[in-house]
Amino acid sequence: MPVATTSNIRRELRRPITFILLFAAALGWIAVIFLLISRAEMRTELEDELRIAEEGQLQVAQQLESLEAAGGALEEIEGNLATARNDLSQTGEELQATTEELSARTAELEEVRGALPEEQARLERIRTEIAPIDERLANQDRLIAEAEQNVAERTKELATVGARLEEARAQEATLQENVAELTAEAADLSEQAAQSEAEVQEARDAEASLRAELDRARSELNAIAEERSGLEAAVAELAERREELAGDTAAAQAQRDALQQEVTDLSQTLSTRSDDLQEMERRISELQEQGAAITDRRAVGLTPGNYTADGIAATFDAEGGFTMTPEGGAGMAGRYGYENDMLTLSEVASPAEGFAFPMTCAIVFEPTGFRLDTPDGSEDCQTLSGRAFDRQ
């Protein structure tokens, strides 16, 4: 995971800093100790050389006294004395050089001793500087662990939101299928109305034909009336035919009235279905607009303003502060934060009875405001769970 990799990198970066500082302090102490040991050894060597020179001078003096006591030849004594004096002078010069070197080494030793408290103070400062660094690194490890836990929780919440989105898409698909069915029904009704119009036109054509036939019958009846004297039988037959035609005309009229009523009913049904289709399209448009508005609000976050829910008045400002006053209770003020559909309320100095902070609630945006629910696997937000806050 990316968070685990970051944590490992921070730990790896932290360790070399501590080791380098400790190693530098150890090197300082080792250098001081080495200088002290070297100065001590050098001082011991110089003291040994001084002691040997003093012993040599003493031996020369003893030899000089022995020569003077023994008598000896004057030249030999003088030669030995000159040699002894030369040796003594050389030994004195060496002793002087050794004394000067010893003084210089002693000054260096004192300088090292003088620098020792400063090195100790520096070591203490390094230790003091390391302490807050270790503390900050420990805090960073704790924050990284919390971030890893939050990432896991947000991943779970994202899966839940994805499931809800899939459910909403399924509902939208169902609505689209219903709209398609209503459109098909409207087309069928339109086709039936067209068929009914055709049938009405046919009835009208039949009525016209019957009227024309009736006119012809009347003409024939006039002709028969003129020839009534010899065509009584034909007149009777024509009278019967006239009655039949009159019955056919009444039946055609009744059929025409029935078809007209059916056309009227179909037109009314088509009008009703058209109104239902328009209402369905309007509701779909409203749902789509509400879904787009809720999606936009989720992207923007909680909109600052005044809200009320079941007697609770709440105000959220743009600087991250909020106030909340339950019905019949004391007002509360604190800070709020919104992230990944979660609303966190914290830093409340005097919580009202029944309220515990910090409080983290799952927020669900609605057309008129938002609703708070208890997050999955958490006992937070028990007091405000299920309350819908409407914007004023």
Q: How far is CA 37 from CA 43, 45, 117, 241, in A?
A: 10, 12, 17, 154
For residues 290 and 307, membership in a common domain is answered with: no
Distance CA 26, CA 42 (A): 24
Q: How far is CA 143 from CA 185, 302, 378, in A?
A: 62, 26, 20
CATH code of residue 257:
1.20.120
SS3 345: strand
Q: What is the predicted pLDDT for the residue at 89? A: 75
367: DSSP letter: T
Which residue range(s) make up the domain with 353? 301-391
SS3 319: coil
Q: What is the predicted pLDDT for the residue at 3? A: 46
Question: How sure is the predictor about 322, in pLDDT bands with cuts at 50, 70 and 90?
Answer: very high
For residues 326 and 386, membership in a common domain is answered with: yes
Return all residues near 81 (Cβ < 8 A) that are at least 6 apart.
64, 67
CATH code of residue 115:
1.10.287
Tokens matching residue 321: 């502060």
273-316 pLDDT, tens digit each: 777 777 877 777 777 666 666 665 666 678 899 999 988 999 99
Output the DSSP codes for 54-66. HHHHHHHHHHHHH
CA dihedral 355, 357, 362, 368 (to 10 degrees): 60
Tell me the average pLDDT across 204-230. 73
By CB neighbour count within 10 A (0-12 exposed, 13-18 middle, 19+ buried), where does 171 fall? exposed
Tell me the average pLDDT across 213-219. 75
For residues 311 and 270, membership in a common domain is answered with: no
CATH code of residue 363:
2.40.128
Please identify, among 240, 263, 296, the residue that sits at the C-terminal boundary of a domain: 296
For residues 355 and 253, membership in a common domain is answered with: no
Helix (H) or strand (E) holding 314: strand 312-316
Angle at the Cα of 379 (from 377 to 383), degrees rounded to 5?
Answer: 140
For residues 251 and 230, membership in a common domain is answered with: yes
Distance CA 299, CA 302 (A): 9
For residues 90 and 150, membership in a common domain is answered with: yes
Tokens matching residue 223: 């002709």
For residues 291 and 306, membership in a common domain is answered with: no
Q: How far is CA 49 from CA 14, 93, 94, 98, 102, in A?
A: 53, 13, 9, 8, 11
Of these ranges, 95-109, 126-140, 372-386, the one predicted with the greatest mean pLDDT is: 372-386
Please identify, among 115, 130, 158, the residue that sits at the C-terminal boundary of a domain: 158
For residues 330 and 262, membership in a common domain is answered with: no
Question: How sure is the predictor about 388, in pLDDT bands with cuts at 50, 70 and 90?
Answer: very high
Return all residues near 281 (Cβ < 8 A) that are at least 6 apart.
179
For residues 346 and 379, membership in a common domain is answered with: yes
CB 381 within 8 A of CB 374: yes
For the chain, what is the mean pLDDT?
76
For residues 197 and 148, membership in a common domain is answered with: no
Q: Where are the alpha helices (DSSP H) in the chain?
A: 2-70, 74-226, 232-300
The domain tally of the chain equals 3
Strand partners, 359: 345
Tell me the average pLDDT across 231-254. 76
Query: Which is nearest to 102 in space by CA: 40, 152, 147?
Result: 40
Q: What is the predicted pLDDT for the residue at 7? A: 58
Residue 307 CA, chain-centre distance (Å), reads 25
For residues 264 and 319, membership in a common domain is answered with: no
CB 225 within 8 A of CB 235: yes
Please identify, among 158, 182, 207, the residue that sits at the C-terminal boundary of a domain: 158
Query: Which is nearest to 102 in space by CA: 51, 56, 57, 30?
Result: 51
Helix (H) or strand (E) holding 349: none
CB atoms within 10 A of CB 345: 25
Strand partners, 312: 309
> For residue 1, is pLDDT > 70?
no
For residues 172 and 291, membership in a common domain is answered with: yes
Question: How sure is the predictor about 323, in pLDDT bands with cuts at 50, 70 and 90?
Answer: very high
Distance CA 109, CA 298 (A): 74
CB 240 within 8 A of CB 293: no
Q: Is 208 left (phi over 0), alpha (psi -120 to 50) or beta?
A: alpha
